Amino acid sequence: MDFRFGEDDETFRRTARAWLEEHPYQGSGAREWERELGRGGWIGIGWGTGAYGSRTATLIQQVVWAEEYARAGAPARTGHIGENLLAPTLLAHGSRAQQDRYLPAVARGDAIWCQGYSEPDAGSDLAGIRTAARRHGDTYRVTGQKIWTSLARDADHCFVLARTDPAARRHHGLSFLLVPMDQPGRIEVRPIRQMSGTAEFNEVFFDGARAAEIVGGEGNGWRVAMSLLALERGVSTLAQQIGFETELRRVIRLGVETGAVDDPVIRAGLVRLWAELRTMRWNALRTLGGAGDVGAPSVAKLLWGGWHRRLGELASGVRGATATVGPRPWRPDAYELDDLQRLFLFSRADTIYGGSDEIQRNIIAERVLGLPKEPR
């Protein structure tokens, strides 16, 4: 297979690179950066409409933009959930009125969204959710708890998978609801502090919160939710690999500086990670846009989750004993970590979040290989 990009794609790359060089991120804040991207037309380039002020790009050109964005060292996006998850879902399942109501703000960088799926007893087993939505006049009232909700403290809206039919079981009777987050007394957000000292995730409690709209019709939430989950493992995985490459180079550079690469075990580990990263890229390009390939997302998740975790472990090996020591160990109130220490701690979760390795293997076994389903 030819993994080279065409001339049009390389022209697009030069345009993207030039814009990023002319508009470097200067710590102006996450929301202002989103608006800067919106003014440049870089939000929604994969929507395929061009109707909301966005540039239009082919699938390969979306990959090019993601790669250039990562190479430029631009910050993690706060608007990616709205752009890459909500918007394609609305374009596939929402009404034209819903698209016109919500997508322009996302394209401008004015609206931040979060995703209300997982619950304390319904993470990988998403069909077991218990958050309820009851009809209240022309809308719904949502009551329940969500967990591991990224960006919930900053979000303007949340799309919530909730049970609208209490008599239905499992994946039946669910609906996909759009909920404004600015509802004092009705929505409470509690940060979840991790062992790295950061708090990217949150618990969200809904107490009769008003849902603005329902997408795809009442009771069709499972179909809409599964369509959205398929989007989580698309173009963004290639940009993710650019970030992985940057981290790997940092570990190699440290290994050279400290002499750790003279250890044959560490040297072999670095070579293995380098080769596996190249393989992941080729696999991602091979399966890009492969509609109906139910196993590809699970294979990709298994590959990068385990790879990143091993990178974190090897980074600690390269650091040696200093990996366990912070900059100021005599100050218990100064729990500071460097980039490689945070890499090690955060990557411990890579094989769990987004669908654990066990769940991914079950999907491959049952849906791809046709093996008997796990007994329940």
For residues 182-193, one letter each, b for 16 or more C-beta atoms within 10 angstroms of the residue's C-beta and e for the rest, the string is eeeebbebeeee
Active site residues per annotation: 232
Measured distance CA(117)–CA(171) in Å, rounded: 13
Which residue reads 């997508």 in tokens? 103
Q: Which of 199, 189, 37 is nearest to 111 (CA)?
A: 37
* Residue-by-residue DSSP string for 70-135: HHTTPPPPSSHHIIIIIHHHHHHHS-HHHHHHHHHHHHHT---EEEE--BTTBSSSGGG---EEEE
Q: Buried (b) or exposed (e) across 222-235, using 16+ Cβ within 10 A?
A: bebbeebbebbbbb
- Say how far apart CA 158 and CA 82 lie, in whole Å: 9
